[in-house]
Each structure stands twice: as C-alpha cells, then as structure tokens.
Amino acid sequence: MNAVATVNVDYTPDGETLRAFLLSDAFARVLTGPFGSGKTVASIIEIFRRACAQAPSPDKVRRSKWMAVRSTYPQLERTTIASWRQWFDDRFGRFSWGPPPTHEIVMPLSDGTILNLEVQFVALDGLSAEADLRGFEGTGIWLNELREIPKTVVDFALGRVGRFPAKKDGGPSWYGIIADTNAPDSDHWLYKLAEEHKPEGWEFFKQPGGVLKIDGVWRPNPEAENQANLPPNYYLRQLAGQTEDWIKVYLANEYGYAIDGKVVYPEWRDTTHVAPAILEPIKGLPLYIGLDFGLTPAAILGQRTARGQWRIIDELVTEDMGVVRFAELLNARLADRYADIEQVEAWGDPAGNARSSTDERTCLQIIKQHAKIDARAAPTNDLTGRREAVASVLNRMIDGEPGLLLSPQCTMLRKGFAGGYHFRRVKVSGDERYHDAPDKNAYSHPHDAMQYMLSGAGEARNVIRPRTTSNVPRPTRANGSYSPLARRGIYR
C-alpha cells in the first residue's frame, strides 16, 4: 500500500439543504434538486468525508469501499466519473478504467492515520453490471440520478452495504445509500417512496428550485442553492424555448407527470401548495365537501380559514362503486375523523339532481339518506367557471401563505395537479392542439369534486353570471348541519 502525499479538499456547501444532506446520518438519503444545484458534488464529497470519518483499524488505516452507479455507461463516463475526477484526480491515487472503472485513494491524514478508499463505478447497461452488483461487499453505494435507476436495483443495493470493513478491522462506522436526482414524475416509484410510503431509515432532501413563477412568469429564485458556483444568469438563460413541463422538472425542481397533453392547472406549485405535514381539521370552522358521482364517485373535504385560505384536508376516492355504498363510506369517514365538526356544507355535481331510472332517487338524495348530509347541486357545471374557481385560489397569497394548502395525504389530488388531470393532445399535424375537456381518468373525479366544492362556496362568483333573485339563493349558512347525533340515527 503506497500512500501519496496529503492533498487538501476545500468544499463548503452553498445552501441549507446541501448542508442538511451532508450532516444526516440516515441509512438512505435522497437529494433532489434542479440543474446546477450542486447535488452531484455534494454526493461526491460525502463519500470522501465518510471515508475520512471511518474509525481506523488496529493498523491505523481508515478503510472504506464504495460503488457509484449510473444507468448507462456513456452517462457514467461523461458525467459521474468526469465529476468525480474534477475533485479527485491522480494526485489522490491510482484510477483504473477497469472493468469496472475504479479509483483507489491511499493517503496520509493529518492525525497520523492512513485513508484507504476504493470507489468502483458501475453502469447498469454493462455486461458485468449484475455480477458487479451481486458480488459487491462494501461500505456504501452512491446512486447517481436515482430516477433513472430501477427500484429493483435499489432494493438489491440495500443489502450490499455495511459489509466493509470487516469486523476484525472494526467494522463500518457508518454505512448506507446516498442518491441524487432531478425531480421524478408523480407516478414514479421514487415519488411514491418519498411522498407516500416514507420508509423508516430514509430521509429525503428537496432543494429550492432554480426558478419560480411570479405573476405568471418564470424568474430566477433568490433562494436557489449553489449560486456561488454558477455563472451569471445561469437559470434565466435556460428558460428560452423550453416547455412548461421541462422547466418545472429541471429548473424549478417540481414533480412532473408523464403525459401527452397539457396540465389543467399550470398555476400549481408543489413546493408552495403542499403542506409540510398532514393537515388536521380545525374545530369551529365549517367543513366543506365536494362530490362527484358516477361509477367512480369521489369526495373532497376542506375548510376555509377566517383569512380566506383554503385547507384541503382529505379525499375519498373510489372505483367501480355505486352511490349508496359511497355514501355509506363517506358517512363512516365523517363519523371517524370529523365528529367534532358542527357544520357541514356539501356541494355536488349538478347532474346528481337527475333521477335514477330504477328507483327515481337522485344522487343528492341518496347522499342525504345514507351520508346524513344535505348536499346541494353546485352553481355551475361549466368547465371554465369550475377551473377558474380553483385557479384563482391557487394564484392567491394570504399573509405570505398560499391561498390553497393541500394536505400531503391527498395523493390523488396532488398527482392530478402535477399533470394526471390534463387536456389530452389532439393527434393532428402542425401546431399543438388539445381537447376542450380534461381527460376522464382516475384523477379527474376528485378534481371535479374539488371544483364543485370551491365554486359552491363562492369562489366562482367572478366568472359566473350573477344569479337573479328568482334563482335559489346561497344561504348564509348550510341548509343542513352535520351532528354526531346523526350517527346515532337521530337525523334532522
């Protein structure tokens, strides 16, 4: 083992998210950020930092073994290895192109110990990739651009770390998985892991976007990280000619959605409109409910604060279900989570006033009978009015907070906002054209329900012709109230 002279590594994280990522001791850490945010360099430095912090063995050698994984060999060579070599060149030790490409760093540290760090670089499209992964017994694995790596590889990698150094040499002081990536699609396995499952031992770090939308225009974000290491106007110059979806994912660090169409709500900002924790109902405030019927009925539950902020706190989304069974589920949900709410105001699809051909009851009447709430038809079924009722709230800021705050447990609404709820592209040559109505899919039903709720609660007044006194007026309070007494069979 021939040690080279000590070489200093000068690195300071430019951003609180980068700093938090480096200070975390979690078994698995994922850093999501836009182009130029310094996430790859932070991962590189973390490997070296952990190696230097490894407890020395009895012979005063700090031993670590890592693997860096990328989806293809061209990407591995042009980006992963190139970035690594910018920080750790031949002064740090011998680099071999393998296979697999390997860098062995052997150098003395200032405390008299010796650093012995081996980093193997593996591409998943290589002929020996599976054998390299299966035979690896190391300290840690770095997954570069995680969203391009299959979940099965990640699952396999979890069992290949913590095996070096051997117990006779003291064992690893820390071991685990680190990863960096651009934002994935909202139907990606990584999205589900970070936003829905949140497994124990994992931490997810999301950097501020390089750009943000102000008054409908993308502008550089003053809170973006790693700006000290970027050229002037780095993000501003990348905006030209790019699509809205591309900007959201690669520059704004927003979740995307793999669609062939156009999102219904370009006003949506995941980092702005999603609450950091699950929203609980506020006692003393009315509970608003939006209802959509058909064979995929959905209910959205929310509250409006005294300042005018909408808090969307819950969703009930079903599939292939009749209205009676849906109403029973809604009744159970209200009794379980909202028994302390004294006033309920419910608005449903105006088509829910149509009588069934079998028993002549309307959907709204069925809701009243089985869910114990007096739901009314929303004031409009016009798409423009319904969409604008939501869009106007999304564009609103109240004392520095968004006009609409979505609980992270509302996963279907969130994915719909990200693009699942969209206008499908018309397949014609020439200019891009889209259907006039959103695509009917799993995300459209909860979004229709939310539109009915907000428009019924008055948010569509600016885009709907004022109703005359001959029409049914909107009362100052709900026609019917929700009471725990109703749960005992006392209905009023």
pLDDT of 487 reads 36
DSSP classification of residue 413:
H
- Residue 270: pLDDT above 80? yes
* Distance from the Cα of residue 14 to its chain's centroid: 23
Task: Please give the single-letter amino acid code of residue 329.
Answer: L
pLDDT of 186 reads 83
| Per-residue H/E/C for 291-336 | EECCCCCEEEEEEECCCCCEEEEEEEECCCCCHHHHHHHHHHHHHH
pLDDT of 51 reads 97
pLDDT of 475 reads 41
> Residue 153 burial (CB < 10 Å; 0-12/13-18/19+)?
middle
pLDDT digits (tens, 9 = 90+) for 67-97: 999 999 999 999 999 999 999 999 999 999 9
Of 263, 314, 271, 244, whose CA–CA distance to 417 is shortest? 263
Token pair belonging to 27 = 């078994």
* For the chain, percent of residues with pLDDT exceeding 90: 73
pLDDT of 425 reads 72
pLDDT of 136 reads 93
* Strand 28-32 relative to strand 176-181, pairing: parallel
pLDDT of 480 reads 42
pLDDT of 2 reads 63
- Residue 290: pLDDT above 90? yes
Model confidence at 474, pLDDT cuts 50, 70, 90, reads very low
> Does the domain made of 16-206 have the CATH classification 3.20.20.70?
no
Query: Which residues are paired to 28 by β-bridges?
Result: 177, 202
pLDDT of 225 reads 98
Task: Please give the single-letter amino acid code of residue 49.
Answer: R
Compute the distance between CA of residue 391 and CA of residue 459 in angstroms, rounded to an integer: 10
Compute the distance between CA of residue 393 and CA of residue 462 in angstroms, rounded to an integer: 12
* Residue, of 461 and 367, whose pLDDT is higher: 367
Query: Which residues are paired to 316 by β-bridges?
Result: 299
* Distance from the Cα of residue 230 to its chain's centroid: 26
Compute the distance between CA of residue 263 and CA of residue 69 in angstroms, rounded to an integer: 33
* Residue, of 430 and 17, whose pLDDT is higher: 17
Averaged pLDDT score across all residues of the chain = 88
What's the fold here for domain 287-488? Nucleotidyltransferase; domain 5 (3.30.420)
pLDDT of 353 reads 67
Model confidence at 486, pLDDT cuts 50, 70, 90, reads very low
pLDDT digits (tens, 9 = 90+) for 141-179: 999 999 999 999 999 999 999 999 999 889 999 999 999
pLDDT digits (tens, 9 = 90+) for 442-468: 999 999 999 999 999 999 775 544 444
- Residue 112: pLDDT above 50? yes
- Of 308-317, 353-362, 417-426, where does mean pLDDT reach its minimum? 353-362
Which residue is listed with tokens 């019917």? 480
pLDDT of 483 reads 45
- Residue 374: pLDDT above 80? yes
Model confidence at 432, pLDDT cuts 50, 70, 90, reads low
pLDDT of 492 reads 30
pLDDT of 4 reads 66
> 0.85 cut: is pTM over it?
no
pLDDT of 85 reads 97
* For the chain, percent of residues with pLDDT exceeding 70: 88
The DSSP string of 200-243 is: TTEEEEEPPPSEEEETTEEEE-TT-SSGGGS-TTTTGGG-TT--
Of 128, 132, 141, whose CA–CA distance to 80 is shortest? 141
- Residue 484: pLDDT above 50? no
Instruction: Tell me if 30 sits within 8 A of 148, measured CB to CB.
Output: no
| Per-residue H/E/C for 136-182 | CCECEEEEECHHHCCHHHHHHHCCCECCCCCHHHCCCCCCEEEEEEC
pLDDT of 490 reads 31
pLDDT digits (tens, 9 = 90+) for 293-333: 988 999 999 999 999 999 999 999 999 899 999 999 999 99
pLDDT of 286 reads 97
- Residue 208: pLDDT above 70? yes
Secondary structure (3-state) at 272: helix
Token pair belonging to 385 = 């009015």
Sequence ranges of the domains in the chain: 16-206, 211-258, 287-488
